[in-house]
Amino acid sequence: MYNAYISLGSNIGDREAYLEKAIQILGSHGKIEVKRLSSIYETEPVGYTDQGEFLNMVIAVQTSLRPETLLHQCLQVEFDLGREREFKWGPRIIDLDVLLYEQETIETADLLIPHPRMQERAFVLIPLLEIAPGLEHPSFGAPLENLLDEIPDKEGVRLWKQINGEDAFVHSGN
Ligand SMILES: Nc1ncnc2c1ncn2[C@@H]1O[C@H](COP(=O)(O)OP(=O)(O)OP(=O)(O)O)[C@@H](O)[C@H]1O
Ligand SMILES: Nc1nc2c(c(=O)[nH]1)N=C(CO)CN2
């Protein structure tokens, strides 16, 4: 089994329901076990800023799937929930990114791990550190805490809903 971290984001419609459904679907095929859930954070949009606030969270999973297949499962969840790709960094009902897969670095045409922008995104690092304190970034060889310290503006990430561990949402096989 391999350990991986996945970030989720939504800024259209019933944002919390989309996060919840995405986690349910991901865990429903039996190959991905959701081990930990961060709290949900409400976050100001980064990049393209003329859009609504996001809900963001990070989950820790254990899986027998290799990274490419894990990515495909994530893209399938986006498809199942009806995501339409409008434009890069634009509004979306659901977005799933594979942040880390063990301590591997992967660079293929379709998949970059660690996620290439995770180190500059407080909306990723804050929930990730909540469930995985002490984790190191495989490429920089630096603790994620240090990378978060280097991000100047973190006020745009606010705790929205505290999640208490494993039984917060129904997941893994349901
Ligand atoms: N680690 C990764 N996790 C998710 N998608 C990835 C990853 N590495 C590469 N990709 C590719 O990125 C594509 C998804 O891009 P998408 O439109 O969701 O980007 P975005 O969410 O708008 O921007 P960003 O990548 O900055 O979060 C996927 O089709 C996938 O092939
Ligand atoms: N706050 C926030 N901003 C974003 C997000 C996101 O999930 N949260 N996702 C983006 C593209 O992946 C671009 N900007």
CATH number of domain containing 35: 3.30.70.560
Judge whether 25 lies within some domain. yes
* pTM for this entry: 0.95
Residues with CB under 6 A from ligand 2: 9, 43-47, 54, 56, 89, 95, 123
Task: Check residue 90 and give its pLDDT.
Answer: 80
> Is the Cα dihedral 110, 111, 116, 122 positive or negative?
positive
Residue 140 is part of which domain span?
A: 2-167
Task: Check residue 169 and give its pLDDT.
Answer: 62
Judge whether 173 lies within some domain. no
- Tens-digit pLDDT string for the chain (174 aa): 999 999 999 999 999 999 999 999 999 989 999 999 999 999 999 999 999 999 999 999 999 999 999 999 999 999 999 988 777 878 899 999 999 999 999 999 999 999 999 999 999 999 999 999 999 999 999 999 999 999 998 999 999 999 876 555 644 333
3-state secondary structure of 172: coil
Judge whether 100 lies within some domain. yes
Asked if 153 is an active-site residue, the reply is: no
Task: Check residue 166 and give its pLDDT.
Answer: 56
Counting from 1 in the atom list of ligand 1, the atom nearest the Cα of 78 is 18
Judge whether 126 lies within some domain. yes
**Ligand 2 pocket test target in 40, 42, 44, 46 with most atoms within 8 Å of CB:** 46
* Dist. CA 118–CA 125, nearest whole Å: 7
Residues with CB under 6 A from ligand 1: 71, 75, 85, 88-89, 95, 97-98, 110-113, 115, 117
Task: Check residue 29 and give its pLDDT.
Answer: 85
The single residue listed with the structure tokens 């804050």 is: 126
- Preceding peptide of 114 cis, ω within 30°: yes
Task: Check residue 172 and give its pLDDT.
Answer: 39
Task: Check residue 174 and give its pLDDT.
Answer: 35
Judge whether 172 lies within some domain. no
Q: How far away, in angstroms, is 27 Cα from ligand 2 center?
A: 23
Asked if 85 is an active-site residue, the reply is: no
Q: Whose CA is nearest to atom 14 of ligand 2?
A: 46
Judge whether 117 lies within some domain. yes
Task: Check residue 126 and give its pLDDT.
Answer: 97
Judge whether 123 lies within some domain. yes
Number of domains in the chain: 1
User: Which of 33, 4, 17, 21 is closest to 161 using CA atoms?
Assistant: 17
Judge whether 17 lies within some domain. yes
* Dist. CA 98–CA 30, nearest whole Å: 18
